[in-house]
């Protein structure tokens, strides 16, 4: 990159280059870095507000610490674009979140500076603690830093790690990136002074000397300790983290390099667990993102000079919109309905529900385990909880799903958004495993709507049951079918013949029904819209099996243990031996890229399905006997 807009940044190809700069040049570099982040994201789409908020913190960390020898672990990782740019990936930012391009999250295979792969929240302190203790075991002198946001700190895992780290006797720095002002008092000169004072050698030495002297007189020692905590607690929220065994420092302005750099340099000289509280602003430096950080959290392409434009009304509803409308409609009918989300109100389409039914809406924060058990408690008292949660996030509450919901057979509806491939967010967010991990649990049923209208209808079916039911649906728009406004439910556990052919029958689960229909028309195959991965419509399955010489299952989920496996098990249990081709997501992690392209690469578009069927069943297609008439 040779660009007069970025005279300093264009020469930074490694943090070692950054550390050669004069301190007085860093504010200019930060301004260039912020401008480059904005320019890059506006061309590719991606996370914006969070990245604009961590520019100065990123510069300070790489300036003060000897990365990658010193380890920096970013929680979630959607704030790491400045980090990527400073660590040799500046020229690849044009490929961000595209197939074969840069990941939107830290990824160990991508760079030695990405010390830990992330994308789900609240893992940083645990991982950093493991790294810090590994350094201690190996007698390596290095610093380990975990950067965690105030939202991620709401998860139980973060507190479990803090509890362990406080007594682990290793050099670990936890930086709380507080960008919601939910913890901090106003930041100013006094707080900067206190942060520098509490991170300095004199304060640490005096504190330790005082402990040594006073430990001989326990009552005086406890009194001094309480006075210290109370004094610090008057101006900073130190007490909680000090109780975990950390030395609390802050809060400081996370956009003020004159505060960040001296504080980090002081902390670098300290031993034991340190906790630095920095306050940042999402969208910092871009007024439109500052004013609406939620809208600019993960925008698509846009013109920075104009900002986000109100999109024209799409011709097709997204599945998330369908769920949001259904949720409001069903809540208006049934006062028992309560809705729960683990910090995904906007992503799960629940904004309107919160406005209309605020007393029945619960955002529990990034706490998936709590969300599921909380729903179980509500269900125990006769309410009808609907847990809106991404497929990949429900994985984090698997124990609660089994022990607290399924064993007690409680009527909780799980609205599983982002089932299947999700595109730009990649493997960490792909809902590839919900059918295998759900169908093996007794009492739980799994519905797979093929389009928007079926999604609405199957949500109504799930809500009517007296046991737990998951309704899985993908990210993005459906097939564009005509929508019903009623809350009519479909029959529980029943499949449907969608196209009558001969020789070979395709059993389609979910939205892959439509490419299956396209492939079937070319080869005159029967297509069954299975609708349910559990329970299977075994009666219809056996009818179809008896009328065809070969069967094909198609699903946008892991083929190992998935719906195709369920079909094979059902046929075996019935003593039916039939050639069975199972198509789904292969046994591999699928990286980021355009969803349609990724499906095609997995052979799950119409052309891929057709090719796979021809390869496996060509003789049956050529000489297939006429199918028996089957009535759905």
Q: What is the pLDDT of residue 250?
A: 85
Would you say residue 190 has pLDDT above 50? no
Q: Residue 10: how many CA atoms within 13 Å on its side-chain side?
A: 7
Q: For this structure, is 368 an active site residue?
A: yes
Would you say residue 224 has pLDDT above 70? no
Distances (CA, A) of 479 to 178, 482, 563, 606: 41, 9, 22, 14
**Paired strand residues for 417:** 390
Shared domain check, 287 and 222: yes
- Judge whether 482 lies within some domain: no
What is the chain's mean pLDDT, rounded?
90
pLDDT band at 185 (very low <50, low <70, confident <90, very high): very low
Shared domain check, 150 and 44: yes
CA-based R_g, the chain, Å? 28
Residue 121: exposure state from Cβ atoms within 10 A (0-12, 13-18, ≥19): buried
Q: What is the pLDDT of residue 189?
A: 56
User: What number of other Cβ atoms are within 10 A of residue 333's Cβ?
Assistant: 12
- Which residue in the list 34, 282, 418, 502 is annotated as catalytic? 282
Residue pair 545/578 in contact (Cβ under 8 Å)? The answer is yes
- Judge whether 487 lies within some domain: no
Q: What is the mean pLDDT of residues 515-527?
A: 95
Would you say residue 215 has pLDDT above 50? yes
Q: Give me the CATH number covering residue 133.
A: 3.40.50.970
pLDDT band at 310 (very low <50, low <70, confident <90, very high): confident
Lowest mean pLDDT among 285-294, 322-331, 599-608: 285-294
Q: What is the pLDDT of residue 464?
A: 98
- Judge whether 601 lies within some domain: yes
pLDDT band at 202 (very low <50, low <70, confident <90, very high): very low
Domain that holds residue 419: 319-472
- Judge whether 60 lies within some domain: yes
Q: Which of 455, 460, 445 is nearest to 331 (CA)?
A: 460
Tell me the torsion sign for CA atoms 541, 542, 544, 549.
Answer: positive
Q: 258 in helix, strand or coil?
A: helix
- Judge whether 629 lies within some domain: no
Calculate the CA 584 to chain-centre distance.
Answer: 22
Would you say residue 326 has pLDDT above 90? yes
Which tens digits make up the pLDDT trace of 36-68?
999 999 999 999 999 999 999 999 999 999 999
- Which residue in the list 56, 90, 281, 368 is annotated as catalytic? 368
Distance CA(568)–CA(579), nearest Å, equals 10
**End-to-end CA separation in angstroms for the chain:** 62
Would you say residue 211 has pLDDT above 70? no
Q: What is the mean pLDDT of residues 168-183?
A: 81
Shared domain check, 512 and 396: no
Shared domain check, 158 and 196: yes
Q: What is the mean pLDDT of residues 491-520?
A: 97
Q: How many structural domains are present in the chain?
A: 3
Name, in order, each residue with C-beta under 8 angstroms of 217's C-beta and a sequence gap of 6 or more: none
Shared domain check, 380 and 283: no
> Could you tell me where the beta strands, DSSP code E, fall in 179-255?
247-253
Shared domain check, 331 and 231: no
Distance CA(298)–CA(383), nearest Å, equals 34
Q: What is the mean pLDDT of residues 593-609?
A: 95
Q: What is the pLDDT of residue 242?
A: 86
Shared domain check, 283 and 342: no
Q: For this structure, is 352 an active site residue?
A: no
- Judge whether 353 lies within some domain: yes
- Judge whether 580 lies within some domain: yes
- Judge whether 44 lies within some domain: yes
Shared domain check, 253 and 350: no
Shared domain check, 459 and 515: no
Shared domain check, 529 and 459: no
Q: For this structure, is 396 an active site residue?
A: yes
Q: What is the pLDDT of residue 187?
A: 42
Distances (CA, A) of 107 to 76, 87, 399, 601: 11, 13, 27, 22
Distance CA(276)–CA(553), nearest Å, equals 53
- Which residue in the list 97, 360, 396, 531 is annotated as catalytic? 396
Distance CA(612)–CA(318), nearest Å, equals 29
Shared domain check, 329 and 287: no
Q: Give me the CATH number covering residue 502.
A: 3.40.50.920
Q: What is the pLDDT of residue 471?
A: 98
Lowest mean pLDDT among 116-130, 156-170, 181-195: 181-195
Shared domain check, 325 and 190: no
Distances (CA, A) of 332 to 319, 336, 458: 20, 10, 18
Q: Which of 407, 387, 418 is nearest to 120 (CA)?
A: 418
């Amino acid at each position: 990159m040779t660009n007069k807009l970025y005279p300093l940044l264009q020469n930074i190809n490694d943090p070692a280059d950054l550390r050669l700069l004069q301190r007085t040049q860093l504010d200019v570099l930060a301004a260039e870095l912020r401008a480059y982040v904005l320019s890059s994201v506006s061309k590719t789409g991606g996370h914006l507000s969070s990245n604009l908020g961590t520019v100065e913190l990123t510069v300070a960390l790489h300036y003060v610490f000897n990365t990658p020898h010193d380890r920096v672990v970013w929680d979630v990782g959607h704030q790491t674009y400045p980090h990527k740019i400073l660590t040799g990936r500046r020229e690849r930012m044009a490929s961000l979140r595209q197939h074969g391009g840069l990941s939107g999250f830290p990824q160990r295979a991508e760079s030695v500076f990405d010390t830990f792969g992330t994308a789900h929240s609240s893992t940083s302190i645990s991982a950093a603690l493991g790294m810090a203790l590994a350094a201690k075991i190996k007698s390596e002198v290095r610093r380990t830093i975990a950067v965690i946001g105030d939202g991620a700190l709401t998860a139980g895992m973060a507190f479990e790690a803090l509890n362990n780290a406080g007594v682990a006797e290793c050099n670990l720095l936890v930086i709380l990136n507080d960008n919601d002002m939910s913890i901090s008092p106003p930041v100013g000169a006094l707080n900067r002074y206190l942060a520098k004072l509490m991170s300095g050698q004199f304060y640490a030495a005096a504190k330790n000397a005082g402990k040594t002297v006073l430990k001989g007189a326990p009552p005086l020692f406890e009194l001094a300790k309480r006075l210290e905590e109370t004094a610090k607690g008057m101006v900073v929220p130190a007490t909680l983290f000090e109780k975990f065994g950390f030395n609390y420092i802050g809060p400081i302005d996370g956009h003020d390099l004159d505060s960040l750099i001296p504080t980090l340099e002081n902390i670098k000289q300290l031993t034991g667990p340190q906790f630095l509280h920095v306050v940042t602003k999402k969208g910092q430096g871009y007024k439109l993102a500052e004013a609406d950080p939620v809208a600019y959290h993960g925008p698509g392409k846009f013109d920075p000079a104009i900002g986000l434009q109100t999109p024209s009304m799409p011709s097709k509803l997204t599945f998330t919109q369908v769920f949001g409308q259904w949720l409001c409609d069903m809540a208006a009918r049934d006062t028992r309905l309560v809705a729960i989300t683990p910090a995904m109100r906007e992503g799960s389409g629940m904004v309107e529900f919160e406005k209309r039914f605020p007393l029945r809406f619960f955002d529990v924060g990034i706490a998936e385990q709590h969300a599921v058990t909380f729903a179980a408690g509500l269900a125990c008292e006769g309410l009808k909880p609907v847990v809106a949660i991404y497929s990949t996030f429900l994985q984090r509450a698997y124990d609660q799903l089994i022990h607290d919901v399924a064993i007690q057979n409680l009527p909780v509806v799980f609205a599983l958004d982002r089932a299947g491939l999700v595109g730009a967010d990649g493997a960490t967010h792909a809902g590839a495993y919900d059918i295998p991990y759900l169908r093996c649990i007794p009492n739980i049923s799994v519905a797979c709507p093929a389009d928007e209208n079926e999604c609405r209808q199957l949500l109504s079916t799930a809500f009517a049951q007296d046991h737990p039911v998951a309704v899985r649906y993908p990210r993005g728009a459906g097939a564009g079918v005509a929508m019903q406004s009623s809350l009519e439910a479909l029959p529980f556990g029943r499949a449907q013949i969608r196209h009558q052919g001969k020789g070979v029958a395709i059993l389609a689960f979910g939205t892959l029904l439509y490419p299956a229909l396209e492939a079937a028309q070319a080869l005159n195959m029967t297509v069954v819209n299975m609708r349910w991965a559990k329970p299977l419509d075994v009666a219809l399955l056996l009818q179809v099996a008896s009328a065809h010489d070969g069967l094909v299952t198609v699903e946008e989920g892991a083929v190992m243990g998935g719906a195709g496996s369920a079909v094979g098990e059902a046929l075996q249990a019935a003593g039916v031996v039939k050639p069975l081709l199972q198509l789904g997501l292969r046994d591999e992690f699928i990286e980021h890229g355009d969803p349609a392209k990724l499906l095609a690469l997995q052979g799950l578009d119409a052309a891929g399905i057709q090719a796979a069927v021809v390869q496996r069943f060509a003789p049956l297609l050529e000489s297939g006997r006429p199918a028996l008439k089957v009535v759905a």
